[in-house]
Chains A and B, each alone.
Chain A
Amino acid sequence: MKLKPILLIIVILVLASQTYALGIAPSSSDVIFEPGLEKTIQLKVINNVHKDFDAVVYAEGELAEYIIIGNPTISLSKNEDSKIISYKLKLPKSLEKQGLHEARIIVREIPKTTKGGTTITANLAIASKLKVTVPYSGKYAEIKLFVTDFKQNKESNFAVEVINLGTENILEARAIIDIYGPLNNKLATVTSNKASVKSKDKEILIAKWIPELGPGSYHAVATLIYDELNTKDEKSFTIGTLELDIVSISVTDFRLGGIAKFDILVENNWNTEIQGAYAETTVKDNNGKIYTQFKTASADIPAFGNQELNAYWDTAKVIPGAYKFDIVLNYLGQKTEKIFDIIVEYDKITGSLVGQVIGVREEEKPAVLKSIYLLIFLVIILIIVNVVIYFKKVKK
């Protein structure tokens, strides 16, 4: 008799934990105003979690009256991961103000029927902005700085996209890129090529750079100088790869049967402090039998510096011999793993590196997956509880 409510709970849990998702790309579209411009713009409606749903599509905002939606309602099936929709833009002969004018094309799911009790059902709506810029009188440019993943002493490029949003041509534009360190200290400056940019047109300027700085995070500020005017954009970038290194292990004052304290020396090659690094250690024999596992305290590893992490092993039931000491260093969602061969003797433990460094970027599971795992876990727990209750009843 008690089975029914438990099964009901399971069903409710399954139903209640359905995910809901909606996406749109691009999230904004840029148009430079031209009198009477007619343009069809496409959007991609994204069905990330592969569900059947219907949605309405409509425009809002200042420019909504100039937008004609092709299909005001759309349907996506669970087999479709996306659907392309389009709208037509018919701009007037003039817009009063120069500068930015906007509209939003909104895709909103049509809500489903609600359930009993006191229930609140989530619904999603997403917007893609339409940005229409009326060119500014005179000269006016906007820029976008593109950075890359630089490597020490290897030439690469900054790119600066220049968009002329003015009514006049830009005769000469060049970008100066200042590079700043973590303490906001200017470390280098590079200059791009020069170019002229016609009104409503765009150009890309290139600034070559061979970084002679150490690995780390830096900040680039690009200043475009164009016909005695200027504008800026900035981006952060890196040189090299962030990776903590496990330099060595050592054990001092050891007696077999006591607690072995492993000093794990960690080195930071990055130009900023790495916070919250910790190691997970495992001692195994050569057959893979695990003797102990230990998680160290977290520590901050200073920029371009070293820090010790300590792991402990109770050797009360350990016999002298060869073991493997596996260290997985965790930091900023990354892992570095090294395996040491250790020799345990009566009065000392010595170690030498056998494994190679394995840098692993920790893969974050999407929330959808997390909830599915949670759901499966709950269902299993409930089934176990149910079985236990059933057998207790049978015994009675």
Chain B
Amino acid sequence: MNNTKIFFGIGILFLSLIVSSYFVDTSLSCDVVTNCNNTDIFHISNETNAHAELNNNSNYAYEICCNDTAGLNVSNNCLGYYKTLLHLSNQTNAHAELNNKSNYNKFNVCISSSDGLLNCSYESSCDGYDTCIASVSSSTNAHVGNCTDYSIKICCGIMINNTAPTIIANVTSPINVYTNTDWKLNLTITDPDGGDIVTGYVQFYINGSAFGSEQSTSPITNNINTLIGTLNSLNFNKGATLIAEFWARDRIVNTTKENTTQVTVLNSIPSKVILSYPENNDSFFTNRIPRFNWTQAIDSDNEPLTYQIQVSLFPNMSSPLTNETGISNTSYMQPSELDFTVYYWRVRANDSEEYGNWSDIWNFTLVSSVSIIVTQDTMNFGTMTQFEINDTTNNQPAPFELENDGNLEANVSVNSTSLWQSNSAQLNTSYFQFKADNSTEANSFNWVNSQTTWANISDFYKSVIGTLNHTDINDLVEIDIRVEVVSDEPPGSKSAILTFYAEES
């Protein structure tokens, strides 16, 4: 006995579930109008106390016009699944009777639906039904009027055989949201009702405030992960909290609304730095105090960036010699001279919260260079007379000035072709001499190791400067020249080519 009750109870519960989940109320609506744009059920001669005619007649201006607000099919056919609302005595100018009378059996007024379940009845009030279609004065041989005319009202409702869709999965992407990534919601929805058009909806919330609602742009296919909406990254900033409220609807019913897990917009790391100078693989790089340059990194959060530079002797950047952080511009001036070897370097940006990725590793080979600038290429003593002596110590003419433009100390030697024609004033005599002297840049060379007193110029190289500095503030030296005209020097133009020879110290 107990088992029977239990089974009965379960059966009732199951049935009620079936009913509640499969039959859903929609809304049938009928009105008396003069121009029916929906389903024309039948016509009446007046709104009250009227005769009736079938809908395929056109003698009466008043039409009983019905539709389903949910879009269910509603027709006036007396075929398929239909309800007979009235019997008419004729096609037109007819009296009516209820469908349970049998005086007029030839002309029936029907309402039907191919996808709905109609429920119609004669009642004194249409409470509990979707709509009142019309009223009649009696059960037979009756006049017809609108719903307020008579006490016998024709009431109808429509139910549909429908199952609400189910949201199987909701996925927001990407998992990590940044200020440069749009936030997307995808839903996987299933709806067992064949032919139902299912739509997914989303309402985004930024920091708790609704922002932008969207719906799927095309009908959702069952069990297919479908993009429902996208929240553009322009609308949120770093640190914002994002939630998507979502639901689905077939043509009849919405699912309940649910929320995704809240995500917080993360800090965007700065972009990878592009290096620019010293150029990669430069195997003749000569600047010992280079200004390392790179292009500005991009930060999607528009935060101020600083940079970190590493310079190492190893291709894998281990044990860097330079590891400088907090550089506020896109260059780093090497503070002191680098030594000659191969260097590897890289840079990354920091937005005060995180570092971006390291740049590519570039390398350059710093090589020694000897480079000499002579600030004038010609010295002219003008016209000279026999026994005349002239030199450049009084700047008339100016001495040669040599600047070490290389990147290490250099030794300089000098030789020359012969200036005079006289046999007694050939090279290696006191008639043509040289010496080194200080320039405006004192301490530019090693005085002790240099020729600082007059020495005879020769056709072979003689050392004039020992250890000429290369640092910009002390790398300039004067080379004085002394000439003396011997008594037997024949007249005419005199010239010599003085060659300064430089090599590393």
Contacts and interface: CB of A to CB of B under 8 A. Distances in A.
Indicate, yes or no, whether A interacts with B.
yes
Interface of A: 12, 15-28, 42, 44, 46, 48-49, 82, 84, 104, 106, 108, 111-112, 114-129, 144, 146, 148-149, 156-157, 159, 161, 204, 206, 208, 235, 237-238, 241, 333, 362, 364, 366-368, 370-371
Contacts of A26: 284, 340, 367-369
Interface string B160-187: 0000000000000000000000000000
Given A26-B368, A159-B321, A368-B403, 10 more contacts: A22-B371, A25-B371, A114-B497, A119-B378, A122-B374, A156-B322, A159-B313, A238-B336, A241-B335, A366-B403
B380 A117 contact: yes
A126 B472 contact: no
B504 interface: yes
B205 interface: no
Residue from A28, A120, A123, A159 with most neighbouring chain B CB atoms (10 Å): A120
A27 B504 contact: yes
A366 B472 contact: yes
B286 interface: yes
Given A27-B368, A27-B369, A129-B503, A122 B321 contact: no
Nearest to A237: B336
23 contacts: A21-B374, A25-B369, A26-B368, A27-B369, A115-B495, A117-B380, A118-B381, A118-B495, A120-B416, A120-B498, A122-B378, A122-B498, A122-B500, A123-B499, A125-B499, A128-B370, A144-B339, A149-B322, A161-B341, A235-B339, A366-B373, A367-B403, A371-B401
Contacts of A15: 378
Contacts of A112: 377
B419 A364 contact: no
Contacts of B500: 122-125
A25 B493 CA distance: 38
A337 B339 CA distance: 32
Interface in B325-375: 335-336, 339-341, 367-375
B277 interface: no
Contact of B376 (A18, A22, A46, A124): A18
A204 B497 CA distance: 47
A19 B321 contact: no
B483 A146 contact: no
B406 interface: yes
B379 A124 contact: no
A12 B379 CA distance: 11
Contacts of B476: 367
B339 A119 contact: no
B472 A27 contact: no
Contacts of A370: 375
A16 B495 contact: no
Contacts of B283: 42
A1 to B, nearest CB: 22
A301 to B, nearest CB: 19
Contacts of A27: 367-370, 406, 408, 410, 503-504
B336 A121 contact: no
B321 A146 contact: yes
A308 B500 CA distance: 47
B302 interface: no
B503 A19 contact: no
Given A21-B371, A21-B373, A23-B372, A149 B380 contact: no
B495 A119 contact: yes
B462 interface: no
B126 to A, nearest CB: 87
Contacts of B501: 106, 108, 124-127
Contact of B502 (A12, A49, A124, A157): A124
A150 to B, nearest CB: 10
A126 to B, nearest CB: 5
Given A125-B502, A127-B501, A366-B405, A119 B379 contact: yes
A174 to B, nearest CB: 15
A20 B373 contact: yes
B387 interface: no
B499 A120 contact: no
Contacts of A124: 372, 374, 499-502
Contact of B375 (A12, A204, A371): A371
Given A16-B380, A108-B499, A128-B370, A118 B494 contact: yes
A156 B495 contact: no
A111 B496 CA distance: 10
Contacts of B483: 118, 120
B499 A20 contact: no
Contacts of A123: 497-500
Contacts of B286: 25, 46
For the complex of A and B, the 6 pairs showing the least CB-CB separation, nearest first, are A23-B371, A114-B495, A25-B369, A26-B367, A364-B472, A127-B503
B99 to A, nearest CB: 99
B207 to A, nearest CB: 39
Contacts of B384: 118
Contacts of A206: 318-319
B381 A119 contact: yes
A19 B376 contact: yes
Contacts of A371: 375-376, 401
Contacts of B383: 117-118
B35 interface: no
Interface in B471-505: 472-473, 476, 481, 483, 493-504
B290 interface: no
Interface in B438-461: none
A15 B380 CA distance: 11
B80 interface: no
Nearest to B319: A206
Contacts of A12: 380
A120 B481 contact: yes
A149 B494 contact: no
Contacts of B481: 120
B375 to A, nearest CB: 5
A74 to B, nearest CB: 16
Contacts of B340: 26
Contacts of A106: 501
B323 interface: yes
Contacts of B278: none
B370 A157 contact: no
Contacts of B367: 25-27, 44
Contact of B284 (A25, A362, A368): A25
B369 A24 contact: yes
Contacts of A104: 503
A126 B383 CA distance: 32
B499 A129 contact: no
Nearest to A205: B319
Given A115-B378, A117-B383, A25 B498 contact: no
Interface string B93-137: 000000000000000000000000000000000000000000000
A129 B408 CA distance: 14
Nearest to B325: A154
A230 to B, nearest CB: 21
A114 B495 CA distance: 6
B284 A44 contact: yes
A157 B495 contact: no
B194 interface: no
Contact of B322 (A28, A118, A148): A148
Contacts of B368: 25-28
A24 B503 CA distance: 9
